[in-house]
Amino acid sequence: MHLLLAAKLAWSNTTANWQRLLVRCSGVTFAVVLMFMQTGFRNALFDSNVRIMEEKISADVVIRIKSRFMLSSGQQMPLQHVITARSCKGVAAAEPLYIENVMSEWHRSGAPKRKIRVLGFDPTHELFHGFGLATLGRELSRPSTAASDVKSKSMFRLPRTEEQRRADPFGELLGKTVELVGLFETGINFSNDGTLVMTTQNFASYFSLRGSGVPLSQVDYGVVRCQQNESPVVVADRLQKMLGPNVIVQTRADFLKSERKFWGKNTPIGLIFLVGTLIGFVVGLIICYQVLATDIADHMGEFATLKAMGYPTGFFAAVVIFQALVLSIVSFVPGMMIALLAFGVVNWGTGLYMFLDVQRASLVLGLTVLMCVISAIIALRKLLSTDPASLF
């Protein structure tokens, strides 16, 4: 009974003056937006760097050399490992993935030369259908052709529409002419600002110095599709035994987890955005405390009367905590809407892959509720320590 009464009183206190409530919520909303943006940039750090493996390549198992510590590093392994993987029980397909972002100097008229990431694979193979280039297999198989990422930064002067591509389809890679025959979408990340895709044959013709003059003999990754009803964990274990200790074989889930772990723990970028989220939490904590402490001070006489009437301590704690919950929800909704708008602007303006799902929104909601409840507990101390007789 007391709990229901506390909830009604908290709602009445909070919504008695909607204009004042909105003003007070604006500060908490700012903290919510700050937490959304910091967690959004941190998630973008992870998502953008693994998007190729997570969304564009439908592999069940990933093979890499042991010394390769992340997707963008340059350590390679022999193509023979991929060929050997094809003979493993439970493997339906195994294909090489070539990545070059060191020698890949890109130039277009009116722009300076810049390094660009170049991916080499068979675009017609089902493992790579996520790029949407299967229908362009004939065009991409012609010499000196490539497809470009529409989300690449503008400094590369790459086309963003088919009209732009048809109007000016040529560029230079390592001083050699390239014809852009198609477009796809991947987005930038914290290591690469633009991407081209080529067939393995074209990749070999541009990067002939790789592999000591045999460019296709050294691959960056092997991507494996398991046979139907075969467990990727079991197949990965078989491949690990076949390929030996110098190679790391992981399921796609484990690979994505290890990539996120590397960027989150081994680079300062992940820590910076984590600290930014904590700062947003602390800012909101302070603002919410000020709002609740002011509201308690404004109604101290009423609270003292209820205290003198014999209402227990738990009743007052419930009132203030319910007020904090109302404040958190009212502040969270506009904060999320502003964050969604900001995410869209960042995606459009930079090509950085930022999105919001239920899990990530729930995390910020949980932080917002926790922030307001902690503020309520701190603000409650003054009310509980007040002697009703001193207020009359």
DSSP run (H or E) holding 172? strand 170-173
CA 353 to chain centre: 7
Q: What is the pLDDT of residues 27-41, one digit of tens each?
A: 889 999 999 998 888
> pLDDT at residue 270 above 90?
no
Average pLDDT over residues 186-201: 89
* Sequence-distant (≥ 6) Cβ neighbours of residue 329 within 8 angstroms: none
With beta carbons less than 8 A apart as the criterion, state whether 83 and 73 touch: no
> pLDDT at residue 276 above 90?
no
Least-confidence region, from 17-21, 55-59, 345-349? 17-21
Q: Please indicate whether residue 143 or residue 321 has the higher confidence score (pLDDT).
A: 143
pTM of the model: 0.81
Give the C-alpha separation, 122 to 114, whole Å.
Answer: 25
Q: How confident is the model at residue 183 (pLDDT cuts 50, 70, 90)?
A: very high
Residue 386: predicted pLDDT? 63
Angle at 51 between CA 367 and CA 84, to 5 degrees: 130
* Sequence-distant (≥ 6) Cβ neighbours of residue 171 within 8 angstroms: 106, 107, 108, 157, 158, 177, 178, 180
Here the contacts of 7-10 (C-beta below 8 Å, separation 24 or greater) are: 7/318, 7/322, 9/319, 9/322, 10/318, 10/319, 10/320, 10/321, 10/322, 10/323, 10/325, 10/326
> pLDDT at residue 67 above 70?
yes
Q: Which residues pair with 196 in a beta bridge?
A: 118, 148
- Rounded to the nearest integer, the mean pLDDT of the chain is 87
For the chain, the domains span: 2-49+267-391, 55-263
Q: What are the CA-CA distances from residue 6 to residues 11, 221, 271, 388 (Å)?
A: 9, 61, 41, 19
Give the C-alpha separation, 64 to 368, whole Å.
Answer: 41
Query: Please, how many CA atoms are within 13 Å of residue 221, restricted to the half-sphere of its CB?
Result: 27
Average pLDDT over residues 350-371: 88
> pLDDT at residue 375 above 60?
yes
Give the C-alpha separation, 210 to 196, whole Å.
Answer: 18
Residue 347 CB: number of other CB atoms within 10 A?
16
Q: Which residues pair with 225 in a beta bridge?
A: 93
- Which of these, 229, 172, 245, lies nearest to 206 by C-alpha position? 172
DSSP string, 70-107: STTS---EETHHHHHHTTSTTEEEEEEEEEE-SS-EEE
Phi, psi of 386 (to 5 degrees): -80, 135
Q: Dihedral of the CA atoms 173, 202, 127, 154 (nearest 10)?
A: 20
Query: What residue has token string 């939490």?
Result: 281
Q: How confident is the model at residue 330 (pLDDT cuts 50, 70, 90)?
A: confident
Looking at residue 375, its amino acid is S
